[in-house]
A = this chain, B = another copy of it.
Amino acid sequence: MVQRSTGQEAVQLDQLSQQLGIQFAYPNSNKIYLQGSRADIRVPLREIAQDDTVTDTGREANPPIPVYDTSGAYGDPSARINLKQGLPHIRSAWLDERGDTEILNGLSSEYGLQRAHDPKTAHLRFNQITRPRRAKAGKNVSQMHYARQGIITPEMEFVALRERLKMDEVFRDPRYAKLIKQHAGESFGANLPRTPDDITPEFVRREIAAGRAIIPANINHPELEPMIIGRNFRVKINGNLGNSAVTSSLTEEVEKMVWALRWGADTIMDLSTGAHIHETREWIIRNAPVPIGTVPIYQALEKVGGVAEDLTWDLFRDTLIEQAEQGVDYFTIHAGVLLRYVPLTAERLTGIVSRGGSIMAKWCLAHHQENFLYTHFDEICDIMKAYDVSFSLGDGLRPGCIADANDAAQFGELHTLGELTAKAWQHDVQVMIEGPGHVPLQRVKQNMTEELQHCFEAPFYTLGPLVTDIAPAYDHITSGIGAANIGWYGTAMLCYVTPKEHLGLPDKEDVRTGIITYKLAAHAADLAKGWVGAQLRDNALSKARFEFRWRDQFRLSLDPERAESYHDQTLPAEGAKIAHFCSMCGPKFCSMKITQEVRDYAAAQKGMQEKAIEFVQKGSELYR
């Protein structure tokens, strides 16, 4: 890793803080907040204002289009960003009021304490660290536990409003009448809300109680704007970040996180493997309005110098507590990599490609013992419920190529993840299940079917899957194809893949491309499932396109900047943005223009026909 000096890192963070407000505003958009049942439930969304439609007979207003917003304070021009300070603690009152947590006097993990007092890393340390919060003895603070008690938490109400996205108002407002038309979905047995009014806090509670959805929300992440992951809600996407031994710095990671949120990441996984994992994570969480996930075994391995055999349960346990007290919202735990499954991978074309999976496999073989994550699973649950960390049960044996898809090792592990799901639910701990990987298109659905059946409908969280191996540098696309399909079939969250997959670490532009690709895949899945109101944005954009409201077409798109810059490469003149033609066909030859003429003609024809009918009718009367 390239070491940065104290001063340099600090200056970079200040510079970034100042840039964020300007850099992250979307064109013609208002960040607004929906008010919940109490003053401190303020649910963010973005409204995209539109220009008027200009016709021969006058102007017609086009209503604003509400869109789901993940950008947190970074997308709010009125917010002041100070990365060194962190985001405001919007959940603190909710946590306090429940009365089932206590503020500890200090950190509980050995490693956390050690790092907090290490003078060598002082210059990298986030200075606003508060004391950690933990469940009181005997208490369970998971959202699932509350849901099963019949309690609707502020977090549940928050996500209900967020998922509904004002569609109750939109559906009743005549200005939207033409825009809300939507094709029926095919939901493969999911029980999606049928109207905006079905998206209630009580609906959220029931889904969480049943294990079909999770709200990853560590009590040590009070900065979080809650979101929900489940197949009866909007399909979500995750963006991966993280430095490795080879490249990247702390500020870069924070910047990439904010950047990923701007484009629409619903959660962020910090997959750092290099130096200063602990410090980087702290910076990320304190500035993260979205859930943060990690793979604790990565850090545990760093602690034993990269020697998998030296991993121990005690060390891993300490790592879980260290990270839970920082506020990590979900942990990838590869507890399904059982000793007996490992030999099933020996004849694979690409063996074990999951890092976590290969670490655990090596440990199992070296000790010839069962995976300690499996044998200590109840103890892990005890930690999870004391902080409300959600499980993301890792697919350590996922296929690394088309040839290895859906094999005995993969599905053996999946079935064990189901067994662990049932166990976690006995503790009222929230669970989602990780999925592949590389799977040819015709075998994608089986993954979803197996997961639903063997993991009891716990939310599925897949990496792609990639539907071919032959397109490195385009694997955001090969995986986007699989992602849209599996999202449609019922996967609740899609882990993004960038163009650099298999080749290198993503830079900022790769992150942007990966996120947008997954946003469009998730949206395609929402449309296909029939998520209520999902088609509003498509309809509004298409209407703008048809009416040559170029600027509205850009504004309503997932990436307004790129859409506008591509347009400007051919027709950069400002006038071209209101021109009734575009660069594809030229001024004389525009299908949309011709269509308008056809429409006028058809209306006139209809008028003539009606007049003729009227005439005949009147005539009939005259001659009767």
A interface residues, Cβ below 8 angstroms from B: 178, 181, 183-186, 244-247, 273-274, 301, 306, 308, 342-343, 345-346, 349-355, 357-359, 361-362, 365-366, 400-403, 405-406, 438, 440-443, 467-474, 476-478, 480-481, 484-485, 488, 499-500, 502-505, 507, 516-517, 519-521, 523-525, 527-530, 535, 537-539, 541-543, 545-546, 553-554, 556-559, 562-563, 565-567, 569-571, 582-589, 591-592, 594-599, 601-603, 605-606
Minimum CB–CB distance from A555 to chain B (whole Å) comes to 11
Minimum CB–CB distance from A446 to chain B (whole Å) comes to 11
Asked if A402 contacts B500 (CB within 8 A), the reply is no
Instruction: Find chain B residues with CB under 8 A from A569 CB.
Output: 500, 504, 507
- Cβ-neighbour of A441 out of B402, B474, B485 (below 8 A): B485
Asked if A402 contacts B598 (CB within 8 A), the reply is no
For residue A366, which residue of chain B has the nearest CB?
Answer: B601
Asked if B538 contacts A470 (CB within 8 A), the reply is yes
Instruction: Find chain B residues with CB under 8 A from A438 CB.
Output: 542
Instruction: Find chain B residues with CB under 8 A from A308 CB.
Output: 594
* Bound: A603/B345 CA distance, A: 11
Asked if B440 contacts A401 (CB within 8 A), the reply is no
Minimum CB–CB distance from A124 to chain B (whole Å) comes to 19
Asked if A469 contacts B517 (CB within 8 A), the reply is no
Could you list 17 examples of A-B contacts with CB < 8 Å?
Answer: A273-B585, A349-B546, A353-B591, A365-B598, A403-B535, A438-B542, A441-B525, A470-B523, A470-B538, A470-B558, A472-B553, A472-B566, A473-B557, A473-B559, A478-B520, A503-B570, A504-B582
Asked if B301 contacts A589 (CB within 8 A), the reply is yes
Asked if A528 contacts B599 (CB within 8 A), the reply is no
* Bound: A504/B181 CA distance, A: 29
For residue A521, which residue of chain B has the nearest CB?
Answer: B481
Minimum CB–CB distance from A243 to chain B (whole Å) comes to 10
Q: A350-B545, A403-B181 are in contact. Are A557 and B595 (CB under 8 A)?
A: no
Q: A441-B527, A528-B441 are in contact. Are A597 and B362 (CB under 8 A)?
A: yes
Known: A503-B566, A504-B569. 5 other contacts (CB 8 A): A244-B589, A353-B592, A355-B585, A467-B484, A485-B485
Minimum CB–CB distance from A439 to chain B (whole Å) comes to 9
* Bound: A485/B601 CA distance, A: 38
Minimum CB–CB distance from A87 to chain B (whole Å) comes to 28
Instruction: Find chain B residues with CB under 8 A from A602 CB.
Output: 342-343, 346, 365
Instruction: Find chain B residues with CB under 8 A from A402 CB.
Output: 183, 527, 535, 538-539, 542
Asked if B473 contacts A586 (CB within 8 A), the reply is no
Minimum CB–CB distance from A443 to chain B (whole Å) comes to 6
Instruction: Find chain B residues with CB under 8 A from A468 CB.
Output: 520, 523-524, 527, 538
Asked if A503 contacts B542 (CB within 8 A), the reply is no
For residue A594, which residue of chain B has the nearest CB?
Answer: B358
What 9 pairs across the A-B complex have the smallest Cβ distances?
Answer: A504-B570, A401-B542, A245-B586, A351-B595, A441-B528, A358-B594, A469-B538, A442-B528, A473-B562
Instruction: Find chain B residues with CB under 8 A from A582 CB.
Output: 503-504
Asked if B583 contacts A349 (CB within 8 A), the reply is no
Asked if B527 contacts A247 (CB within 8 A), the reply is no
A308, A406, A524, A553: most-surrounded residue (chain B CB, <10 A): A524
For residue A343, which residue of chain B has the nearest CB?
Answer: B602
Instruction: Find chain B residues with CB under 8 A from A499 CB.
Output: 566
Minimum CB–CB distance from A608 to chain B (whole Å) comes to 11
A185, A247, A473, A484: most-surrounded residue (chain B CB, <10 A): A473
Instruction: Find chain B residues with CB under 8 A from A588 CB.
Output: 245, 306
Asked if B606 contacts A343 (CB within 8 A), the reply is yes
Asked if A546 contacts B477 (CB within 8 A), the reply is no
Q: A541-B470, A558-B470, A594-B359 are in contact. Are A585 and B244 (CB under 8 A)?
A: yes
* Bound: A563/B473 CA distance, A: 5
Instruction: Find chain B residues with CB under 8 A from A566 CB.
Output: 472-473, 499-500, 503-504
* Bound: A541/B502 CA distance, A: 12
Q: A183-B440, A485-B441 are in contact. Are A505 and B589 (CB under 8 A)?
A: no
For residue A510, which residue of chain B has the nearest CB?
Answer: B566
Instruction: Find chain B residues with CB under 8 A from A516 CB.
Output: 471, 474
* Bound: A397/B501 CA distance, A: 39
* Bound: A596/B353 CA distance, A: 10
Asked if B592 contacts A343 (CB within 8 A), the reply is no
Asked if B342 contacts A598 (CB within 8 A), the reply is yes
Asked if A247 contacts B343 (CB within 8 A), the reply is no
Instruction: Find chain B residues with CB under 8 A from A481 CB.
Output: 480-481, 484-485, 521, 524
